[in-house]
Structure 1
Amino acid sequence: MSSKEIFEERRSINFFDTEKSLDDNLLKDIINLAALAPSAFNLQPWEIVAVKSKEAKEKLYRLSSNQPKVLEAPVTLIIAGDKNGYDKTNPIWDIFLKNFNGDEEKLANVQGYAYSLYGTSDERKIKFAESNAALLAMSIMYAAKSFGVDSHPMSGIDFEGIKKEFELDDNKTVVMTIALGYLDETKTLYPRAYRKNYEEIVKEV
């Protein structure tokens, strides 16, 4: 499947085939491919909770406006961003230090610059976490489609309730959830809705 076909054929699937599971290794392949998504300073400030068990699905279902797809899909991913992903506790900085040949002053300068961009206010921290995690989320949906797996992103959810129920750290913010699986072929999706084009989206200056 070409990149163009992946974009054209990816749909938000409302009906998942409950008889089809998603192989664990395939899920890993999807995530590992999607993790090539860009992130600020390559800090990868994100976390994923894979909701697979019946008990966990039922918890997420109640926190997702009772959307049936949460129960029907073999797995739903909780995508969370790390509001403190820019700080010195991120192990990615260790790789920076290695790439800088152990130059701690150079590392400190880059860390200080990252802090100035993302750490000076709660608003900046949230923007940092959510924008980067959203890049991963879209990458997951395209990666899934490249493997023939369907998806549906959800934001009609109880963000704080999910954070609490699934015991995410205080510095994490839930960005969205993504159901993964296979279309129930006995159901028919609506035709793809109208998409705005360049002239409607872009303001040239």
Structure 2
Amino acid sequence: MNTLKELYNERRSVNFFDKNKKVDDKVLQDIVNLAVLAPSAFNLQPWEIIAVKSDEAKQRLLPLAMNQPKVVEAPVTLIVLGDRNGYSKENVMWDEIASMMKDDKKLEATQGFAAMLYGTSEERKIKFAESNAGLLAMSLMYAAKYYGVESHAMSGIDFEGIKKEFNIDGEKEVVMLITLGYFDEVQSLYPRSKRKLYDEIVKEV
């Protein structure tokens, strides 16, 4: 898999995973370390991931994912989180930004601007968390495909139940699940369905 166009053409949402084929720890790390090149607001990277790998954790997650078999069949499921307070001064990425700016007043103004953009309402906080974590999520799936690993994004889940079961901080939003693994070759996928193209989805103004 060498080109971006190939990745787009070949990536599929896989429902059937080979239960006997694990994703190597190093491969999982490589996937995440490539995916974090995704863009984020002010490069604040307001995201976290919980990697559900143990049989015990999978069983806890299963009923919260509407008992979808791929949660226990896939070797790993990622819980993708977005931080509603990721714009705040407590985010350690501001230290990196400060080292580049080398100007305390400019840094303070930038932090204030970020707070105004993302922190003035609960709706804005949620949008901030989910939009940035969504960028990471898609990046994770293409990075997985680059390393030969299949994926499936899941949003039909019990978001609040997952937060409670996995002791996730109240300011963190569960954005989606992504199962990762290798296709069960005994199964088959439907042919790729039609996609709406430019003329159907773009309005020029």
Deviation per residue, 1:89-138 (Å, 9 max, x gap): 0000011111122x221110000000110000000000000000000000
Displaced runs of 4 or more, over 2 A: none
Q: CA RMSD for the aligned pairs?
A: 0.5
Q: How many residues align?
A: 204
Q: Which amino acid aligns with 1:124?
A: R
Q: Which residue of 2 aligns with 1:172?
A: 172
CA distance in 2, matches of 1:85, 1:182: 33
Q: Which residue of 2 aligns with 1:8?
A: 9
CA distance in 2, matches of 1:170, 1:32: 26
CA distance in 1, matches of 2:121, 2:18: 44
User: Given the alignment of the two structures, is residue 128 of structure 1 paired with residue 128 of structure 2, yes or no?
Assistant: yes
The runs of 5 or more residues in structure 2 that have no matched partner are: none
CA distance in 2, matches of 1:106, 1:197: 43
CA distance in 2, matches of 1:118, 1:129: 9
Q: Which residue of 2 aligns with 1:19?
A: 20
1:83 Cα offset (Å) = 0.2
Q: Which amino acid aligns with 2:135?
A: L
Q: Which amino acid aligns with 1:27?
A: L
CA distance in 2, matches of 1:165, 1:107: 38
The runs of 5 or more residues in structure 1 that have no matched partner are: none
1:87 Cα offset (Å) = 0.3
1:162 Cα offset (Å) = 0.3
TM-score normalised over the length of structure 2: 0.99
Matches within 5 A, 1:1-205: 1=1, 2-101=3-102, 103-205=103-205
CA distance in 1, matches of 2:95, 2:43: 12
1:62 Cα offset (Å) = 1.0
CA distance in 1, matches of 2:166, 2:26: 23
Q: Which amino acid aligns with 1:130?
A: E
SS in 1 for 2:120: coil
Deviation per residue, 1:54-105 (Å, 9 max, x gap): 010001111000000000000000001000000000000011111122x221
TM-score normalised over the length of structure 1: 0.99
SS in 1 for 2:96: helix
SS in 2 for 1:63: helix
CA distance in 2, matches of 1:89, 1:165: 26
Q: Which amino acid aligns with 2:201?
A: I
